[in-house]
Each structure stands twice: as C-alpha cells, then as structure tokens.
Structure 1
Amino acid sequence: MGQEQSVVEGVEAPSSSRVGSTPPRSPIKRAETALNTRIQPHTNRVTKKRSKRSRRDTSERKTIIVDGIPISFRRERLVSLPPLETEPEKTAMSIMKPVVGKLPLTDECLHYDDVSEVPQNLQKYFHQRYSIFKFYDYDIRLTNDAWFGVTPEPLASRLANDLPSHLYSTPRRTTIVDLFGGAGGNTIAFALSEKWEHVISIERDASTLACAQHNAEVYGVSEYITFIHGDCLDFLDRLKHHPETLDPSLREKCDMSKTVLFASPPWGGVDYKEQDVFDLSTMEPYNLEVLHKSCSPMEHALYLPRTSDLRQIAKLAPEGERIEVVQYCMEGASKAMVALIPEATPELT
C-alpha cells in the first residue's frame, strides 16, 4: 500500500486508464477512487464539456504498477477557454404607469416643529419654512435632502403664472410636466394656477414622492396632479422614442405638441455660490447639455442658478428663435433664473 500511496500523490489529473490483464477489480477500484479525489472540480468539468476544444500540449505518459497490475496514465495540461458568448436576452420594456393611490409616508418624511429638532445644516432653511411652504404648520412633510431643492412658494407661484399655457399660446399647451417633482413645491403651484388641464410630476425617490403627494393634499390639489414614480430622463426617452411603453393615460395627456416641460434639476457639482459666472456644464448629475438634449424638441423651461452663464444658454436657441431668460428675486435678492426655450421646428429636407 505504500507504493499505491506514492503513485496517487504523483498524478494530477488523469484522463484515462488502461489495464493490461484481467485481475480482481477491487485494487484498481481503490486506486481509481483515490486518484479521482485528487481531480480539481473545474478541471474535471472542462475535460468533460470541452475536451476537444481545451486540450493542449499532451505529454508525460507513464505506466505504474499497482499490486502487480500495470496501469497507464497520461497527464495533460489544460487551457481553460472563455465561455462562448451568447446573445443577450431581449426583454420588453415594462410599462411606465402613474402612481395609483398614495405612497406611504416613511421615516424619512419629516415634519420639524422646533429648530432644536433640525440638523445643523438645515436650520437656516427651517427659519425660512413659511417662505418655502406658507402652510408649513399644517403638517408639511420633507425629507432632509428635499429642503435644499424646494422652490420658495412665492417664486413658484409667480413662475407658474409666467409660463405660457393654453390660455394665451399658439399652439395650445394643455399639459405641464414637472420633471424633478421633489417634495412638490413647483408641482403644487402649477396645479393652483389653474392654467393646465394636466399637471404631471415625476420623482424617482419614493420617500420624496410620498412627501409631494401628502403636501398636495395639504394644499387641496392632489386630485389634479398625476404622480409618476420613476426617472424623468427615462420618461422623456419613452415619450419620444417608445410611446408604446407609456400607460395609455400618459400618452393621452402628454401629446408632445401640447406639452411644456419644466426642469428644476439638482445643481450639484462645483458650488455655484462661489462662482461669479456658473459653468452649467459642471452641474451634477445632469448638466445643461444633457437636460436640453433630453427635453428637445419640446418647449421647456429650465430653472437654473442665478449666476448661470448666459452665453451657454444662448447656444440652445433653435434656428431663428430667441430664448427668454427671467431673473427671479425675493426681498431684493436674486434667487434663480429661468430660461424659456421654445419648441424646435423640424428642419425641412
């Protein structure tokens, strides 16, 4: 048995065996069982499934004697080949639908009653809470992140009244889509203006969207707003290129020739307050080029930092058109600017 043990340790991955005579089977079975336990699982798998494609440089044939029985072994070097590439499975896009009912308020949907409850970095916003939402005390809910992005109510109301709608525009505009709905500041103002047949608000964070629905109820306009839980750029791509993947109710409301888009994106990136002229290409996660390309060719309004580079905005004007830019101020201080970009007329070929 000492000889058998040394033979087993000297063999790495036998692929075949050949017995020269017909002895009792039990010693051979013992030897084969011991040898098979030394075979690496993946080597064994490759040998079985890819024997013809994976063998390379066969060498080192030897004959050994086990209990007087000659057994021939061959050791092979195996080169693992990469798996065969297969076509990615093509799956149909799911249907984007409006939110049915109300999303539940989560632990992130907060209402602060006293400044002592408020995180340090939000306290200045809490002191301005009645400018942000006039009815804040009626249980307005915000996530901590939403405090940074809510448009103050007086500004949101003025902006909603300024945007052209079907009341005095040609062609008629009947739908406004708030692409970055957030906690509902602008969306609620659009609904309160009574200028639109359809107000649609898109928000990808469930807790923030739950706040928006709750706040719209506080202001009594929730039934006039269609909420979508999803990504606004995905919505725009579907609207322009895959309308069949939108719920029929959304396709009906969002006729591209009758829809105005409103985008109040996160400004992110380099702190705009530290720049005399803010470079709109540094906005994160969506810069000016991405926003404009996603919204075109529809008419759209971009809510941007007050120090935005006007030269960058001017380049967005369609051929033969001009862009209107409005600076919005509160209490004598500029808060933001809004660029109104007209619908791009398809070029004649």
Structure 2
Amino acid sequence: MGKKRGVSGLSGFAREAFGSQSQFLSTEASQSSQSPDDSFISTQRNQPSGPNTTSQEPTLPPLKRRKVGLLGPGQERYDATELVPFYTDEDEVPDELRKYFSQRLRLFSLYDSGALLDHVGWFSVTPEAIAANIAERCRCDVILDAFCGVGGNAIQFAMRCERVIALDTSLTRLRLARHNAVLYGVADRIEFILADYVEFAKSYTSRNHSMQDAPNYKRKIDVVFLSPPWGGPGYIDGGAASAINQLIPPTPTPREWDTGKASTLDHPSYSLSDIQPIPGKDIFALTRQITKNVAYYLPRNVQLEEVSALVSDEKGEMVEVEEQWMGSKLKAVCCYFGGLVSGQEEMW
C-alpha cells in the first residue's frame, strides 16, 4: 500500500507546504536563532548594540566544548544526553517508572545503546514491535505523526515511508525524538516541528484549500497517525468520565468475544471525549480534512461504538480495528480508516 521510499531527507518540506515554519513554533523556540541544520538549538550569540557599540568585533568568551554524549563523537549537536536521566540500573529508576524500565528493550530495542525518554515518554511511547506493525500498514510517501512524543512511531515510519512530519508541543520531547532518530539512523527522513497539532491542521487545510488550484502544487499528506494523549496511566480506569463509565459495561474486543472472556473485563470503557487536547471525535473530524487515510491509536478499553460512529455519515465506509498485543497482553487497538482498511484501498 502506498509507495516505498525512493529518496532520503525532508529538506524544507514543512516550510514550503505550510508557510514559514516559525508560525508553528512556541515562543521558546521562535525567539532563538536557528540554523537550517538544527531547528531546536540556538547557534548564534547575542551581539551588543546601542550607543556604546563600536565597529570592532566584540570579544566573546570561548565556547565550551560539549562532552561527548550517548550518540558518540560527531553527533554532539543532536545529542540530548543532558536533558533527561539515562538509567542503567533499576535502583536509579523512580518507583513509578520501574515497571516500564523492566520493559525498556520492548520500548526501544536500542535503549542500551543510548535511547532516551522523559518521564511522560516512559509510559506513553508505543512499544517498538507495535510501532513497526502500524508503520507497515501505513507505508506511504508522506505521513504525519501528529503527537510524536519521543519518536517511537516516527522512527518506524521513517524506515518505511519517504517522508515523516513529526509534531509535538514539547521542545524537550522533540529533541529526545531527534536524538533517538539519529541513534536509529533515520533522522534525515524526519521533519521535527514544534507545533500544536490542532492549530497545525487548521493552517494546513486552510493553506491547501487556497493553493489546490495553483500550478505544480503537490504538497500532500498521504496518511495521518493519531496517538493523542489518553490522560496518563489512569486512562485504564476510565479517564475523566469514569464516574459515568462505571455504569456502562466495557466494550469487549473481538478477541475477548471469541475466547468467551467478555464477562471478565474489570475496567470501565474509555470514551473518546477523554482524548486530549480536544475530544477524540473533533480531532478525527479535523484530521479527515487532511486525508481520508487515518490510523487512530487508542486504549484497549475504548468504546468501539464511538469509533464506528466516527464514519457513520460516510455511506458504506468500513473501519478496521486491529488489536495490538505484546505477548499475552493486549496493549491497545489501532483503528484504520480510508484506504488503510483492507478491501477499501480504492479510497487511497
């Protein structure tokens, strides 16, 4: 499905497709001077100005030589080693993260080689095997990872797609994602953008509508991968709507119906209304203005009736729900729409 990668790099894609990149950057990033090769680290020093400024070059203290980090010599500008702890022993790990640390090689197979995660990343990153499976289903030219976090999905997309646009609202997580992408050797195929997805999507659709008749305008996103925040580890208890959901029997997954385990579920169902930063139904509707091909990564206890209702107005359109298992544990579901659905490729 889609096309295999035939080129490397994503030079200037976001800037050409969506206008000046700075409009998507937060104040923290947009106020810094940025070079084309380093979108997140200031590479210039402030120059003196005012009546006492002379034509003579100012004397600046020598730049401190940065220590070689986890990425090794020659990769210092992309290395995010100093941003977060790199745990090598369970005794170093905070109690609330220890269960995730024990599964670190499932999250990143190259963890011991220097992959980095912030506190949120430990419990929100997609396990690597699951990310690889989703990426294979989403193989295409250009894919947008709307909430990239520390890069687990973006890295796998870059291994299978020509171009990846990776968004996040956290500068720290973007730097960690780029660090991890360099470690996996795919950073040159990912455009990391500090942006709020909702604002980005609105700007993209508005710009595309105004330029769709322009000659040679080919800036198109084939697939959008949605993995928005579920509300933290407490999502399994029903999120913000748990008081209501306690009264609603959780929706069994197909596997649970088949194995007769539907009556053993002990978690309230998860509502799309608990998705952040805006309700899941609204995020989906906005995304479908970009492309019909959407992969929606959702909690394993999501209400499937709400998922199917997302396309209830689309005559004859199917939704494919794929369970994501790690060993004997169901971790999540990924819901495919549009041309990503088996038997519905004509919608691509």
Name the structure 2 match of 1:96. Answer: 21
CA distance in 2, matches of 1:253, 1:120: 50
CA distance in 2, matches of 1:254, 1:308: 34
Q: Does 1:186 align with 2:153?
A: yes
Name the structure 2 match of 1:25. Answer: none
Amino acid at match of 2:306: Q
Contact 1:177-1:199 at 8 Å conserved across structures: yes
TM-score with structure 1 length normalisation? 0.62
Amino acid at match of 2:321: V
Q: Does 1:230 align with 2:155?
A: no
CA distance in 1, matches of 2:274, 2:117: 27
1:342 CA drift (Å):
1.5
Amino acid at match of 2:155: I
Q: Deviations over 1:83-120 (max 9, x none)?
A: xxxxxxxxxx9822598434353754331111222111
Residues paired across the two proteins, number: 235
Structure 1 window deviating more from structure 2 (203-212 vs 94-103): it is: 94-103
Give 5+ residue unaligned stretches, structure 2: 1-17, 25-33, 42-79, 238-266, 340-348
Name the structure 1 match of 2:109. Answer: 134
Superposition RMSD in Å: 2.7
**SS of equivalent to 2:150:** coil
Among 305, 311, 315, the alignment partner of 1:311 is 305
CA distance in 2, matches of 1:294, 1:145: 25
Q: Deviations over 1:253-282 (max 9, x none)?
A: 7415xx200011110179332233212212
Matches within 5 A, 1:79-228: 95-96=20-21, 100-102=36-38, 103-104=40-41, 105=80, 107-163=82-138, 165-166=139-140, 174-193=141-160, 196-228=161-193
Contact 1:109-1:207 at 8 Å conserved across structures: no
Contact 1:270-1:282 at 8 Å conserved across structures: no
CA distance in 2, matches of 1:124, 1:253: 46
* Residue 139 to residue 106, structure 1, CA distance change in 2 (3 Å): closer
Q: Deviations over 1:210-230 (max 9, x none)?
A: 000010011011111111111
CA distance in 1, matches of 2:192, 2:123: 21
Name the structure 1 match of 2:285. Answer: 293
Structure 1 window deviating more from structure 2 (263-272 vs 131-140): it is: 263-272
* Residue 213 to residue 236, structure 1, CA distance change in 2 (3 Å): same
CA distance in 2, matches of 1:142, 1:270: 16
1:287 CA drift (Å):
2.2
Contact 1:268-1:285 at 8 Å conserved across structures: no
* Residue 158 to residue 270, structure 1, CA distance change in 2 (3 Å): closer
Q: Does 1:334 align with 2:330?
A: yes
Name the structure 2 match of 1:50. Answer: none
Q: Does 1:322 align with 2:322?
A: no
Q: Deviations over 1:125-182 (max 9, x none)?
A: 111100000010111111112112100001111111122x44xxxxxxx211100011
Q: Deviations over 1:296-330 (max 9, x none)?
A: 13121110001110100011122221111111111
1:284 CA drift (Å):
3.1
Amino acid at match of 1:186: N
Give 5+ residue unaligned stretches, structure 1: 1-92, 167-173, 344-349
